[in-house]
């Protein structure tokens, strides 16, 4: 088995089954396993699911996460595997690609599903996404935000709240009762909508369960390559800088690039020599760019 060390990344050329047993510990697993439905590509090959998930339980700490991309029957089987091993389901994320990846089928598929599980007691972080990035595909929502701020400043009370926020950074909050809302505690106070909008423009917005990102499909090195920015946003939800991320189905290395860019350590495994070499080059470039920024 070939091994390559690139900064904080360790990459293996070979089968997941031959490498995972030699890994001692990781903080989280983020991976896009073969879905076993693309019959025309050799990368979509069968793998030892039981071996992988049993090792995932061995490798992860109690607050560690495993995050899986997937589709169809295999994806739901994997989730059942994790439940049987005692993992706790946390959230489902939808990657909305905004274009179809299956133009010949009856239903135009424009999304992929991502499930997040913790071994025991991991907690989803609360990262902020830049306002423009979160809303760039929703011009109507941006217009409504502008109108909301404008409307607030038309009254003395509203203007005072905005001024107080701009001067002191404190959001005005009030109590609100929402009938039948099972996800909000009754003691939670809600911020004034105008100042909350200004705050989100200044400081970013909470991540959402539907992440809208397009892929530059004319520049892809792998047929199922994921955007690096998508991986960065998922990593921000489950991990912290300095954590070690394992991807036993590395492909062309997008998750590795995202890990290096965000200050994580990375272990990747890829069976295809061509994709392994591509991943090495991409991760090497990301590591070089990180060193450049630090100097």
Q: Please give the pLDDT value at position 160.
A: 82
8-state DSSP, 252: T
Q: Give every residue of the chain whose pLDDT is below 70, as ranges.
A: 36-44, 102-103, 172-190, 216-223, 291-295
Is residue 198 within 8 Å of residue 165, measured between CB atoms?
Answer: yes
Give the pLDDT score at 192: 79
Which pLDDT score, from 0 to 100, does residue 42 have?
A: 60
Report the SS3 class of residue 42.
Answer: coil
Q: What's the DSSP call for residue 267?
A: E
Per-residue pLDDT tens digits for 106-162: 888 889 999 999 999 999 999 999 999 999 999 999 999 999 999 988 888 888 888
- Best CATH choice for the domain 2-127+208-294 from the list 3.40.640.10, 3.30.420.40, 3.40.1550.10, 3.40.50.150: 3.40.50.150
Q: pLDDT value at position 177?
A: 59
Question: What is the Cβ-side half-sphere exposure of residue 158, based on CA atoms within 13 angstroms?
Answer: 13
Q: Residue 99: its pLDDT value, please?
A: 84
Other C-beta atoms lying within 10 Å of the C-beta of residue 20: 22
Structure tokens at 3: 């091994």
| Entry pTM | 0.88
Domain edges within the chain? 2-127+208-294, 134-205
Partnered with residue 128 across adjacent β-strands are: 206
What does the angle CA 227 – CA 228 – CA 234 come to, to the nearest 5 degrees? Answer: 95
**Residues comprising the chain, all counted:** 295
């Amino acid at each position: 088995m070939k091994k390559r060390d690139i900064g904080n990344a360790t990459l293996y050329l070979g089968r997941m089954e031959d490498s995972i047993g030699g890994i001692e510990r990781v903080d989280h697993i983020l991976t896009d396993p073969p879905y076993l439905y693309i019959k025309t590509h050799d990368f979509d090959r069968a793998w030892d699911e039981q071996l992988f998930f049993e090792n995932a339980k061995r490798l992860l700490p109690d607050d560690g996460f495993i995050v899986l991309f997937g589709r169809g029957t295999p994806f739901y089987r994997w989730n059942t595997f994790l439940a049987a091993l005692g993992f706790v389901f946390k959230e489902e994320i939808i990657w909305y690609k905004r274009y179809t990846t299956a133009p010949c089928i009856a239903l135009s598929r424009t999304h992929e599903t991502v499930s997040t599980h913790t071994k025991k007691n991991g907690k989803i972080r609360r990262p902020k996404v830049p306002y423009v990035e979160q809303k760039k595909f929703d011009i109507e929502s941006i217009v409504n935000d502008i109108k909301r701020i404008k409307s607030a400043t038309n009254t003395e009370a509203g203007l005072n709240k905005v001024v107080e926020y701009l001067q002191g950074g404190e959001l005005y909050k009030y109590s609100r009762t929402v009938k039948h809302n099972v996800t909000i505690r009754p003691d939670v106070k809600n911020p004034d909508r105008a100042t909350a909008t200004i705050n989100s423009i200044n400081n970013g917005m909470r991540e959402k369960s539907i992440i809208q990102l397009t892929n530059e499909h004319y520049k892809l090195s792998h047929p199922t390559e994921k955007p690096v920015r998508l991986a960065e946003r998922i990593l921000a939800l489950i991990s912290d800088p300095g954590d070690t991320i394992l991807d036993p189905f590395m492909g062309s290395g997008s998750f590795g690039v995202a890990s290096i860019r965000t200050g994580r350590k990375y272990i990747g495994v890829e069976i295809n020599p061509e994709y392994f070499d591509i991943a090495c080059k991409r991760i090497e470039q990301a590591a070089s760019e990180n060193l450049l920024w630090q100097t």
